[in-house]
Amino acid sequence: MWQVEKMIKRVRVLAIVVCLSLVLSPGIAQAEGELRVLGSSAEAGFPSELDFSLSAESDVSITDIRLHYTVDQAGFAEVTSEVFIEFEPAATVEVEWSWDMRKTGGLPPGSTVEYWWTVQDADGKRVETAPVQVQFDDNRYSWRSLTGGKVTMYWYEGSESFAEEIMLTVEEALARLVEDTGAYLVKPVRIYIYENPRDLRGAMVYPQEWTGGVAFTRHGVIAIGIAPSNLSWGKRAITHELTHLVIHQMTLNPYNDLPTWLDEGLAMHSEGPLGSQFKNYLNRAIAEDSLISVQSLASPFSAYAEQSYLSYAQSYSIVEFMISNYGRDRMLELLNTFREGSSYDGALNKVYGFDMDGLDELWREHVIQQYQGAEAGTADSSLWAGILVVVT
Ligand SMILES: [Zn+2]
């Protein structure tokens, strides 16, 4: 499907080149007066706008101007947006249009937007400009970069060794992920390290006050705020977000997404052993018989802090149970089955021979036994230096 779409696009680009050379070559169009594009530009106002402008002239009124653009991201079909520009018809026109991302949602730093125009006059003459790419970069900082395998990291504060330490964490996380689940990075990933959450929030339209990191799974981008003094939190957070990217790359399909418990459980599992505060949440829920069902955890987690922490803790525990009891190959098979667009119960049934209710039953038995006799500690509600967000 994607291949076909891509090919269609190639053909279209070729067609444009042919068209343009016909229209622009001297002697062909001039005789009857021509429709000409005088200038075209795009200026990025990161993170909230992208301003396009065009000027054109003809010997009769220009009546129709459209802007077309696409954003580089992993999709199933190439999505082209088309904007009808409002203007007063005239022989010479200058138009502007601003893509206001406060209305549409933002793009991650480093995105590439490709755009072109189609212009038409009252005589029906038509020009389509060649596609041009514009970079949507966060130019507030002087970024340095470091590349290892498919991962390129950008940072502006802290030494080389700070960056190298994070890169090492990335490599270890990817190696562990292959070992535990068989999942691996399919496409390149870019990681932007901001010095702190405040700088990160300056890169987002409408940031939430508590945002500490964002994974843009379709774009293959992680943006995160890590001060050199907060490195240990940062390493865990990067490992977590990177896992989301890998899992989404492995399972991307147009039909179905992943159950949240699997997506978050794998991300938590990559981070290493469960923290004691999360364990306390689990322990208390077992004691109070208030564990959340696997079925409920398939939907987005509760916005309430306590329920949300328990959801993460349970997701970790469910994934841990699946990997340690049934092994890595089945987990990989499960991910591959999800890539085919399978339903949640369908995928589990095919690979493990039980559905989500069956998993719920087996896992409860396991976790209750595992936590038997554990001291019930106090649950702390300030677990993270910042909440991690996933944008799909
Ligand atoms: Zn997560």
The edge-to-edge listing of strands for the beta sheet with 211-216 is 144-148, 151-155, 189-194, 221-225, 211-216, 387-391
Question: What does the pLDDT look like over 227-239, one tens digit per residue?
Answer: 888 898 899 999 9
Query: In whole angstroms, what is the distance from residue 238 CA to residue 23 CA?
Result: 51
Cα 213 to middle of ligand 1, angstroms? 10
C-alpha of residue 107 to centroid of ligand 1, in Å = 19
The pocket of ion ligand 1, defined by CB under 5 A, consists of: 264, 267
* pLDDT tens, position by position, 20-62: 333 343 333 343 569 999 999 999 999 999 999 999 999 999 9
Gap from CA of 109 to ligand 1 centroid (Å): 20
Q: Write the pLDDT tens digit of every residue in 245-284.
A: 999 999 988 888 999 999 999 999 999 999 888 999 999 9
For residue 295, the CA-to-ligand 1 centroid distance in Å is 18
Ligand 1 centroid vs 240 CA: distance in angstroms?
6
pLDDT in tens, 191-216: 999 999 899 999 999 877 778 889 99
- Model's pTM, two decimal places? 0.82
Mean pLDDT of the chain: 87
Backbone angles phi, psi at 110, to 5 degrees: 80, 5
Determine the distance separating the centroid of ligand 1 and the alpha carbon of 283, expressed in angstroms.
Answer: 21
Quote the ligand 1 centre to 165 CA distance (angstroms): 22
Q: Provide the H-helix boundaries in the chain.
A: 2-24, 101-104, 160-181, 197-201, 231-251, 260-271, 276-287, 305-326, 328-339, 344-352, 356-370
Amino acid at 155: W
CB atoms within 10 A of CB 103: 8
If you count them, how many residues does the chain have? 392
pLDDT value, residue 120: 97
Whether 383 has a pLDDT exceeding 90, the answer reads no
Neighbours of 25 (CB within 10 A): 10
Residue 71 Cα to ligand 1 midpoint, Å, equals 24
